Amino acid sequence: MVGHSAGALILRKTYVMAMGYDSDHVMLGKIPQRAWATKVDRIILMASINRGFSLAQRPEDMNWIKFQLQRLGFALLALTNTGRFIRRLQRGSPFVANLRIDWIRLSQNSTAVLPQTIQLLGDLDDVVCEEDNVDVATDQNFKYLKVRDTGHESIVRFQEPEIGAYRKARFQHALTTPFEAIEGDIIPDATVDLSVDQVVFIMHGIRDTGLWTNAVRQAIEAQKKTAYVSVAGYGYFPMLRFLLLGARQTNVHWFMDEYTEAIARHPRAALSYIGHSNGTYLIASALERYRACTMDRIAFAGSVVRSDYDWDGLVRQGRVQTIRNDVASADWIMSIFPGFFELLRFSDLGTAGHNGFAAHEGKKNTVAYFKGGHGAALQPQNHNSLAHFALTGEVVREDTLLVKQQSNVVAMVSKLCWAVWAAIAIALLLLGFAIVSLLALLSVPAGVSWLLYACLVLLLLYTL
């Protein structure tokens, strides 16, 4: 089997489906293994975008103009809802992440042996870099071959003068040479650590630089030396972006790429997750949108997930083992802002950080409330408890941090969250009229004044 670029991804997807691994269509049930799949002897990947493509940063071998044109073109595809195939090849997208996870799990299956897999990659490739091959490189039947003076498209151009013959020879070498005789090149930083038996992801929330995550990481590492803790952050996430589904999903894609890289490097490790605020949304959304995603233990603090989230279904499927949801006694942020979105049935934001979860599996470890507001469960006194849960699944909280009842005022505000939103909207509108009236004294047209005011409000929301 031979595939180039995106075609190589389709080829790999076809193979894992034929082997009975198809997380993208798990609702259709397990598909039987195809007889032809076991007869595949070798897979040749030519500049395969194994990790998906990303326009977050300009690749080293891509010029600035080409990079900006690609970003503009991709933005137009998103705005017009076209180019769905290419958009599904983004780094961290469900198609790419599910495929990578299925491939890793297939490679770890003691009853299955992946075919000999060889990736040929040009040294001038401006789409794929060497480090993008970690998931395929973790298998013992993988080898990597560099192709000099070659880019992403030109790797299949065998007719070009001089260099074309060299590319053809490299391809024939990968295709026909006995696997043991192929001397593969080394992929930097593609080490697999089988000694790590626990991976813990710690994710911060909105308007948060995530300083607390390092303190919890230290607590975990003190309790278990063989644990790997990921505290990689997605940067400062302001309120405006949090309110936009597309912006939230961009971070979910980022997390799933981190998730896939972690399980590729630590394939035998159990998985745990600690999240606060928007950090709780990342894993909840990932579990809904990525069928290959699993997580043994999940701890939430100040959750923005809907209270009717289906934890029971995930536990039945074996994708989650246990959930801990730390609820605050006076989290007015959760009660007002996500509270309004939970009233909108189409929204995936909610008040689990204030109202808790309705599902049995989601509420069984919530018996009291942490005294305080949105960050109450992140107090240093609770760090060891969060670490202990992530490593063992046992919930041990300090009683001195807990109260039995929530604030009556915050509970009332939660029920009237729609009225609070209406009051905020009216206040912003009245302020706008006042500013427009003042600018009218300076002969500024009303349309220009309203535009300036709207930009100011959006700028504040994007900053705060």
Cα gap 62→70, rounded to integer Å: 11
| Of 36-45, 76-85, 145-154, 387-396, the least confident | 76-85
The pTM score is 0.92
Inter-CA distances, 279 with 209, 212, 300, 436, Å: 12, 13, 8, 39
Round the average pLDDT of the chain to a whole number and report it.
93
CB 220 within 8 A of CB 291: no
Q: Which structure tokens are listed for 85?
A: 């195939």
Burial class from Cβ neighbours inside 10 Å (0-12, 13-18, 19+) for residue 104 reads buried
Inter-CA distances, 20 with 14, 116, 135, Å: 10, 19, 19
Q: How open is the CA angle 83-85-91, to the nearest 5 degrees?
A: 105
State the pLDDT at residue 237.
87
Closest CA to 353 of 369, 341, 367: 369
**Which tens digit of pLDDT belongs to each residue from 327-380?**
999 999 888 989 999 998 889 999 999 999 999 999 999 889 999 999 999 999
Q: Inform me whether the pLDDT recorded for 274 exceeds 50.
A: yes
| Of 162-176, 326-340, 378-392, the least confident | 326-340
**Mean pLDDT, rounded, for 188-195:** 86
Beta-carbon contacts of 381 under 8 Å, excluding residues fewer than 6 positions away, are 398, 400, 401
Cα gap 351→75, rounded to integer Å: 32
State the pLDDT at residue 28.
44
State the pLDDT at residue 30.
63
Backbone angles phi, psi at 205, to 5 degrees: -110, -160
Choice between 29 and 166, residue whose per-residue pLDDT is larger: 166
**Which tens digit of pLDDT belongs to each residue from 207-222?**
887 789 999 999 999 9
Burial class from Cβ neighbours inside 10 Å (0-12, 13-18, 19+) for residue 327 reads buried
Sheet strand arrangement including 320-328: 227-230, 198-203, 270-276, 295-301, 320-328, 369-370, 402-403
Residue 25: pLDDT band with limits 50, 70, 90: low
**Which tens digit of pLDDT belongs to each residue from 226-261?**
999 999 989 888 888 898 888 999 999 999 999 999
**Which tens digit of pLDDT belongs to each residue from 286-301?**
999 999 999 999 999 9
